[in-house]
A and B are shown apart, each in its own frame.
Chain A
Amino acid sequence: KAGVTQTPRYLIKTRGQQVTLSCSPISGHRSVSWYQQTPGQGLQFLFEYFSETQRNKGNFPGRFSGRQFSNSRSEMNVSTLELGDSALYLCASSERGVGQKYFGPGTRLLVL
């Protein structure tokens, strides 16, 4: 099976702009979750989608949003970008949500 894919791999944006990141999970997996990784905070949970419904949300401001489509692909949107949003954004795929999660290569976002 193909692994988790994320596009784009790299992005450079300026403050105030918005960005949309995309994730395609492993075939057959219905759960997609998103994490932010920074050197200072490590990996932090953003939100999880299961069968197009947001099932759980982390402690991030409302500027961070996401959605999941009927084919399980997911998008994450960040509006009004701030410098502190510079990070590696990782998508994780899971068959049922609980248990094993498989990560994609990430999208590295730089906000100038």
Chain B
Amino acid sequence: DTGVSQDPRHKITKRGQNVTFRCDPISEHNRLYWYRQTLGQGPEFLTYFQNEAQLEKSRLLSDRFSAERPKGSFSTLEIQRTEQGDSAMYLCASSQRTRRAYNEQFFGPGTRLTVL
């Protein structure tokens, strides 16, 4: 299967701890996105990479959140000093860059974070 993969699928942590999630996009896709989804809501945009460059970051993203994509392939999302309000499903998506500005984004299975 060559879809988007995410690791871990589930993470339970105590408030105040740091967590890191990994996303491996579809291999030929150079655009990568992170979203957060809470119960009953649609995915909420967090940040976007084109190759290794982080080109866009949501204003909603606090300083405790940081994302990297060091070699333009996999990406990591770190949350420092987690809070109970961070509990959510964290989704990664990737898309291919073409002449068209917008292309379909393919989502991974997500990492469900529970902060106790």
Does chain A bind chain B? no
Residues of A within 8 A of B (CB): none
